[in-house]
Structure 1
Amino acid sequence: MTIPPDCRLVEVELDESIGRSTPDVEHERAVAIFDLIEENTFRPVADDNGGPYRLRLSLVESKLVFAIARENNDPVVTHILSLTPFRRIVKDYFLICESYYDAIRSSSPSQIEAIDMGRRGLHNEGSQTLLDRLSGKIDVDFDTARRLFTLICVLHWRG
C-alpha cells in the first residue's frame, strides 16, 4: 500500500470521555501520542483530498471513536471501533509487561529476553488486530498500527 506523504496525523487529542488518570499514566499517554505524531502514515479510505489530519479520540460504551478532521479542523469522517476484540490482548499484554519489569530486577538476561520476545509478539498481535479492524476505513502502515495499539493500551492502563 502506497500512501502519499501528506497523509499523516499532525495532532491527536483525547477528549474528556477518556478521563484523566495518575501522573504516570498521563505521562505514558503523552509519550504514546508524541511517538504517534512523530512518525505515522494515516489516511481515511474515503478521503481523496489528502492530509494532514487531526485525530480526536473518545470513548462511547466501550467503543473507541476516531473523529478525523483536516489540519484546518474541517471534518473528514468518524469511525467507531469496538474495543472488545482487544480486551484479551491488552490484558495479556499488561500481564507480560508486569512479568518483564519483575524479570528486569531478578532474572537472567536469557529469561528477560524470552519474556521480552513474548511481549513484542503480543504487541504485534494487537497491532495486526488493529490493522484488520481498520481495514476499509483507515489506511495505516504496520508501524503506525503499533503506535496506535500502544496508545490503546495506555488508554486502558489505570496506573
Structure 2
Amino acid sequence: MAGVATQRIASILLPEGPPLPSRFAEQDREQAVRDLLLENVFSPEGLAPGPYIVHLALRDGRLLLDIRDSADAPLRAFGLALGPFRRLIKDYQMVVGGYEQAVGDGAMEARIQTLDMARRGLHNEGAELLRERLQGRVTLDFETARRLFTLVCALHQRI
C-alpha cells in the first residue's frame, strides 16, 4: 500500500494577508496546518500519486484548490462556490468568538463546554459539506476535511 502513503498533502500554502482578528484564531489556524501536515488523506481523482502541494485561497466568492506536485508544478486547480459554506462559516466564527470571550472572561466551565460542543458540531458539519462538495474530484478522510474547513474559515476571516 505504498500509494496510500503518497496520497497526501505534503505542504499547504495560504495567501499572505492581514493577521487574523485574534490570537485564538491564529492559533487555531496554526494548529490546523500542523495537524494536517502530520496526518492527512488527500487523493485527487485521476492524478498520479503525490505527495501534493496545495495552494488554498478564496477568490471571487470561491474556494480555490490549486493542486501541485512535489516540485510545485501545477497539476489541477478548481474552485468551489462558497455559498453552501457561508452559514456554517458565519456560525462557526460566531461560536469561536463566543468561546474566546467566555474563556477570557473566566466563564463557568459548563458554558465553555457548551460553546466547545457547538464549535465541534459546526466543524463536523463543515467537514462533511467539504467532503460532499469535493466528491468525484478529491477523496479526503474526515480529519483532513475538518482541518481544511478550519483553514477555509481562517481565510474567510481575512476578507
The TM-score, its normalising length taken from structure 2, stands at 0.85
Written as runs of structure 1 = structure 2, the 5 A alignment for 1:125-144 is: 125-144=125-144
* Distance in 2, Cα, partners of 1:89 & 1:63: 15
Letter in 2 for 1:37: L
Pair 1:46–1:89, CA change in 2 (3 A)? same
Q: What is the aligned-residue identity percentage?
A: 39
* Distance in 2, Cα, partners of 1:60 & 1:157: 13
Q: Per-residue deviation at 1:30? A: 4.4
Find the counterpart in structure 2 of residue 58 from structure 1: 57
Residues 7-52 of structure 1 deviation map (CA, whole Å, 9 limit, x = unaligned): 111111224xxx51127566654443333222211110122x2110
Find the counterpart in structure 1 of residue 45 from structure 2: 45
Residues 121-146 of structure 1 deviation map (CA, whole Å, 9 limit, x = unaligned): 01111111111111111111000000
**Residue aligned with 1:46, SS:** coil
Written as runs of structure 1 = structure 2, the 5 A alignment for 1:1-159 is: 4-15=4-15, 19-22=16-19, 24=23, 29-47=29-47, 49-104=48-103, 105-158=105-158
Q: Is the Cα contact below 8 Å between 1:44 and 1:139 reproduced in 2?
A: yes
Q: Per-residue deviation at 1:72? A: 2.1
**Residue aligned with 1:64, SS:** strand
**Residue aligned with 1:5, SS:** helix
Moved more, 53-62 or 148-157: 53-62
Q: Is the Cα contact below 8 Å between 1:20 and 1:26 reproduced in 2?
A: no
Letter in 2 for 1:87: R
The TM-score, its normalising length taken from structure 1, stands at 0.85
Q: Per-residue deviation at 1:81? A: 1.0
Q: How many residues align?
A: 153
**Structure 1: 5+ residue stretches without partners:** none
Q: Is the Cα contact below 8 Å between 2:14 and 2:55 reproduced in 1?
A: yes
**Structure 2: 5+ residue stretches without partners:** none
* Distance in 2, Cα, partners of 1:11 & 1:112: 33
